């Protein structure tokens, strides 16, 4: 940022016309890249819903670490199409895996993706 001296300003306290300063003094590179931020935002959006958080916790805490959609629907008290939508969002974010067994879909948490969520804030 370049600052200039006003015509009637006292010269002792005003910067010269060529003075360049950082706004807030941040001089070290850091933070997320744009790609990292977009990836993390997608992941956080997937878990930023109370129903999806409940579904994740139910699946994670189920016997064998997996749950059938037929048990998830009554557990969250929502219609099957709504639960399927939430499960699809979680699956697309890579947080859960889906396996078809006969007429039912079974879901299990992907531990490495949960670690990815944790690492965003580490």
For helices 69-76 and 80-92, the axis angle rounded to 10 degrees is: 110
pLDDT of 29: 65
This prediction has a pTM of 0.73
Question: How much is the mean pLDDT over the chain?
Answer: 84
CATH top class, domain 34-120: mainly alpha
Task: Summarize pLDDT for 9-30 with one digit per residue, the tens.
Answer: 444 444 445 555 566 766 666 7
pLDDT of 9: 44
Of the two residues 5 and 22, the one the predictor is more confident about is 22
Average pLDDT, stretch 54-65? 95
pLDDT of 26: 63
Contact 52, 113 (CB under 8 A): no
Of the two residues 10 and 42, the one the predictor is more confident about is 42
pLDDT band at 33 (very low <50, low <70, confident <90, very high): confident
Domain-wise residue ranges, the chain: 34-120
Contact 35, 63 (CB under 8 A): no
Give residues with Cβ within 8 angstroms of 56, minimum separation 6.
Answer: 47, 90, 95, 96, 109, 114
The token duo for 112 is 């490495």
Task: Summarize pLDDT for 83-113 with one digit per residue, the tens.
Answer: 999 999 999 999 999 999 999 999 999 999 9
Of the two residues 41 and 4, the one the predictor is more confident about is 41
Angle, CA 121 vertex, CA 117 and CA 122 arms, to 5°: 105
**Whole-number Å distance between alpha carbons of 27 and 108:** 44
């Amino acid at each position: 940022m370049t600052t200039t001296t006003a015509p009637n300003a006292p010269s002792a306290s005003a910067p010269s016309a060529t003075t360049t300063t950082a706004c807030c003094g941040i001089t070290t590179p850091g933070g997320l890249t744009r790609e990292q931020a977009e990836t993390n935002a997608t992941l956080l959006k997937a878990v930023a819903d109370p129903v999806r958080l409940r579904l994740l916790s139910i699946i994670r805490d189920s016997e064998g670490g997996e749950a059938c959609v037929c048990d998830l629907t009554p557990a969250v008290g929502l219609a099957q199409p709504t639960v399927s939508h939430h499960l699809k969002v979680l699956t697309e974010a890579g947080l859960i895996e889906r396996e078809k067994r006969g007429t039912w879909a079974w879901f299990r948490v992907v531990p490495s993706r949960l670690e990815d969520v944790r690492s965003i804030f580490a």
